[in-house]
């Protein structure tokens, strides 16, 4: 697989996170609640996950540009 294809694949993955809907966030929150977390714990897990995805997506993009 060429380097360009890897970069395009990663860009597509990042785009998928850019289009997350409110409905998908609520579904994830409800799923976490049904697995035994409280509403607050589930919400904190969702928010933390979004923050981490955004933080690491930016660093990956920066690393790709640098190389």
Over the stretch 49-61, which tens digit does the pLDDT of each residue have?
Answer: 888 888 887 655 5
Q: Is residue 21 predicted with pLDDT exceeding 80?
A: yes
| 10 vs 57: CA distance, rounded Å | 9
Q: What average pLDDT does this structure show over 35-46?
A: 94
Q: Rounded to 5 degrees, what are φ and ψ at 63?
A: -65, -40
| 32 vs 15: CA distance, rounded Å | 24
Q: What is the 3-state secondary structure (H, E, C) of 12-47?
A: HHHHHHHCCCHHHHHHHHHHHHHCCCCHHHHHHHHH
Q: Is residue 62 predicted with pLDDT exceeding 80?
A: no
């Amino acid at each position: 697989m060429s380097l360009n294809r890897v970069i395009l694949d990663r860009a597509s993955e990042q785009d998928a996170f850019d289009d997350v809907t409110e409905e998908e966030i609520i579904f994830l929150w409800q799923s976490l609640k049904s697995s035994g977390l409280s509403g607050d714990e589930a919400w904190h897990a969702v928010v933390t996950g979004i923050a981490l995805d955004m933080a690491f997506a930016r660093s990956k993009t920066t690393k790709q540009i640098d190389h």
